[in-house]
Structure 1
Amino acid sequence: MNYILENENIKISTSTFGGELNNLITKNDNIEFLWSGDETYWKYHSPILFPIVGKVLNNKYKAENNEYELPQHGLARTREFNVIEKDNNHITFELLWSEDTLKIYPYKFSLKLTYTLLENGVSVNYNVKNLDNKEIYFSIGGHPAFMCPLLDGEKFEDYYLQFNEKERADIMELDSNTGYFTGETKNFFNNENKINLNLDLFKDDAIVFSDLRSNSITLKNYKNNKELTMDYTGFPYLAIWTKPTGAPFVCIEPWYGHSDYKNFNGDLKDKEGIEKLSINEEFTANYKLFIK
Structure 2
Amino acid sequence: MTFELKKGGLRATAQTKGGELVSLRDSGGLEYIWEGDPAFWPGQNPVLFPIVGSLKDGRVDINGTAYEMGRHGFARRSEFSLVEQGEDFVTLELRESEETLARYPFPFSLQVTHRLLDDGFSTTFTVKNTGTAHMPFCIGGHTAIRCPLHSGERFEDYELLFEEPEHAYSHLLSPEGLILHDGWRPMLNEGETIPLDYRPFQEMDTIIFSMLRSGKVSLVHRKTGRGVCLDFHEFPMVAFWTTPGAPYLCLEPWQGCAAYDNESGKFEDKPFCVILPPDREKSLTYAFRIE
Q: Give the TM bin, normalised by the shorter chain.
A: over 0.9
In terms of mean alpha carbon deviation, does 68-77 or 1-10 score higher? 1-10
Secondary structure at the counterpart of residue 188 of structure 2:
coil
CA deviation after TM superposition for structure 1 residue 10, in Å: 1.0
1:226 corresponds to: 226
- In the alignment, the residues of structure 1 paired with residue 126 and residue 75 of structure 2 have an alpha-carbon distance, to the nearest angstrom, of 13
Work out whether residues 169 and 211 of structure 1, in 8 Å CA contact, stay in contact via their aligned partners in 2: no
Secondary structure at the counterpart of residue 217 of structure 1:
strand
Post-superposition CA distance 1:215-238 (Å, at most 9, x none): 001111135342201111120000
For the pair 1:180 / 2:178, whether they are aligned, the reply is yes
- In the alignment, the residues of structure 2 paired with residue 225 and residue 173 of structure 1 have an alpha-carbon distance, to the nearest angstrom, of 29
CA deviation after TM superposition for structure 1 residue 39, in Å: 1.5
1:24 corresponds to: 24
- In the alignment, the residues of structure 1 paired with residue 238 and residue 227 of structure 2 have an alpha-carbon distance, to the nearest angstrom, of 19
Work out whether residues 53 and 258 of structure 2, in 8 Å CA contact, stay in contact via their aligned partners in 1: yes
| Aligned partner letter, 2:121 | V
| Aligned partner letter, 1:89 | D
Secondary structure at the counterpart of residue 31 of structure 1:
coil
Secondary structure at the counterpart of residue 204 of structure 2:
coil
Work out whether residues 154 and 223 of structure 1, in 8 Å CA contact, stay in contact via their aligned partners in 2: no
Secondary structure at the counterpart of residue 188 of structure 1:
strand
1:237 corresponds to: 237
* Equivalences for residues 189-268 of structure 1 within 5 A: 189-202=188-201, 203-243=203-243, 245-268=244-267
Work out whether residues 56 and 265 of structure 2, in 8 Å CA contact, stay in contact via their aligned partners in 1: no
- In the alignment, the residues of structure 1 paired with residue 147 and residue 242 of structure 2 have an alpha-carbon distance, to the nearest angstrom, of 10
Work out whether residues 9 and 120 of structure 1, in 8 Å CA contact, stay in contact via their aligned partners in 2: no
1:167 corresponds to: 166
Work out whether residues 131 and 278 of structure 2, in 8 Å CA contact, stay in contact via their aligned partners in 1: yes
In terms of mean alpha carbon deviation, does 143-152 or 185-194 score higher? 185-194
- In the alignment, the residues of structure 2 paired with residue 211 and residue 186 of structure 1 have an alpha-carbon distance, to the nearest angstrom, of 15
- In the alignment, the residues of structure 1 paired with residue 26 and residue 146 of structure 2 have an alpha-carbon distance, to the nearest angstrom, of 13
Secondary structure at the counterpart of residue 53 of structure 2:
coil
How many pairs does the alignment contain? 289
| Aligned partner letter, 2:227 | E
2:121 corresponds to: 122
1:36 corresponds to: 35
What runs of 5+ residues in structure 2 fail to find an aligned partner? none
Work out whether residues 148 and 155 of structure 2, in 8 Å CA contact, stay in contact via their aligned partners in 1: yes
Post-superposition CA distance 1:253-273 (Å, at most 9, x none): 000000011122431112222
Work out whether residues 64 and 106 of structure 1, in 8 Å CA contact, stay in contact via their aligned partners in 2: no
1:113 corresponds to: 112
Work out whether residues 158 and 195 of structure 2, in 8 Å CA contact, stay in contact via their aligned partners in 1: yes
RMSD: 1.1
Work out whether residues 83 and 92 of structure 1, in 8 Å CA contact, stay in contact via their aligned partners in 2: yes
What runs of 5+ residues in structure 1 fail to find an aligned partner? none
1:154 corresponds to: 153
CA deviation after TM superposition for structure 1 residue 160, in Å: 0.5
Secondary structure at the counterpart of residue 189 of structure 2:
coil
Work out whether residues 188 and 194 of structure 2, in 8 Å CA contact, stay in contact via their aligned partners in 1: no
| Aligned partner letter, 2:5 | L
- In the alignment, the residues of structure 2 paired with residue 201 and residue 192 of structure 1 have an alpha-carbon distance, to the nearest angstrom, of 17
| Aligned partner letter, 2:198 | L
For the pair 1:48 / 2:51, whether they are aligned, the reply is no
- In the alignment, the residues of structure 1 paired with residue 12 and residue 204 of structure 2 have an alpha-carbon distance, to the nearest angstrom, of 33
Q: Percent identity at matched positions? A: 37
| Aligned partner letter, 2:273 | I
Q: State TM-score, norm by structure 1.
A: 0.96
Work out whether residues 159 and 197 of structure 1, in 8 Å CA contact, stay in contact via their aligned partners in 2: yes
- In the alignment, the residues of structure 2 paired with residue 9 and residue 291 of structure 1 have an alpha-carbon distance, to the nearest angstrom, of 12
Q: State TM-score, norm by structure 2.
A: 0.97
